[in-house]
Chain A
Amino acid sequence: DIQMTQSPSSLSASVGDRVSITCRASQSIRNYLNWYQQKSGKAPKLLIYGTSSLQSGVPSRFSGSGSGTDFTLTISSLQPEDFATYYCQQGYITDLYTFGQGTTLEIK
């Protein structure tokens, strides 16, 4: 299995802050890394695919970077609606897609 480890597990920040969330894979996944946002009681929403491609309709303050085993989701200027839990997901192994454990972004 490919293990996906996110850090931090939780993060407190203020509106307007720039924040970054890291996802590390236990082996190289090339650029098959996706990011999702999940708000309480809702389904996950795709934000970033292929490490850095912005899903249609997602604000440009979200961006992704990385390659191989280390990846980052960055929100350039936090908005009130961005407080949620974020998950990374690897798509490299086609018979075992795995997600990170999640990072909860809270209001400071």
Chain B
Amino acid sequence: QVQLQESGPGLVRPSETLSLTCTVSGASISINNYYWGWIRQPPGQGLEWIGSRYYSGSTYYNPSLKSRVTISVDPSKNQFSLKLRSVTAADTAVYYCARHVWDEQMFDHWGRGTLVIVSS
């Protein structure tokens, strides 16, 4: 079955760049109709979509984060990555990677999530 696993530092200093990688198993990242996305959840709060990317390059970002975010895909490793620049304490959250099914516009498989704390 499809599985996703986030990895990356759990602590990032303010003004630096948050970098996370999602490794996909059980499915190819280069399959038609599937985008690969990131969603975050601040402690005790709701869900916020960050962005989604297709393996061949088409990308959508949340306008509120667009100036600071880059999502990339590495089909050779079956991985995709998130970079969020110039972080502040407000970026502290659990970050989830997820498979984004384009036709239905739904997120059908999620990673377990990784907590990233922004603090000096």
Interface on A for B, CB 8 Å cutoff?
Answer: 32, 34, 36, 42-46, 49-50, 53, 55, 87, 89, 91-92, 94-102
Given the known inter-chain contacts A43-B111, A100-B46, please indicate yes or no for A91 contacting B106, CB distance below 8 A: yes
Bound complex: CA of A40 vs CA of B55, how far in Å? 32
CA distance A10 to B46 in the complex (A): 14
Interface string of B73-115 (1 = CB under 8 A from A): 0000000000000000000000010000100111110111100
Contacts of B111 in A (CB 8 A): 43
Bound-state Cα–Cα, A43 to B40, Å: 10
Interface range on chain B: under 10, 10 to 19, 20 to 34, or 35 or more? Answer: 20 to 34
Which A residues are CB-close (under 8 A) to B62?
95-96
> Could you mark each residue 51-66 of chain B with 1 if its beta carbon is under 8 Å from any beta carbon of chain A, else 0?
0100000001111000
Minimum distance in angstroms from A29 CB to a CB of chain B = 10
CB distance from B43 to the nearest CB of A (A): 11
The 10 closest A-B pairs by CB, nearest first: A91-B105, A43-B110, A97-B49, A99-B47, A49-B106, A34-B106, A95-B60, A49-B104, A101-B46, A46-B108
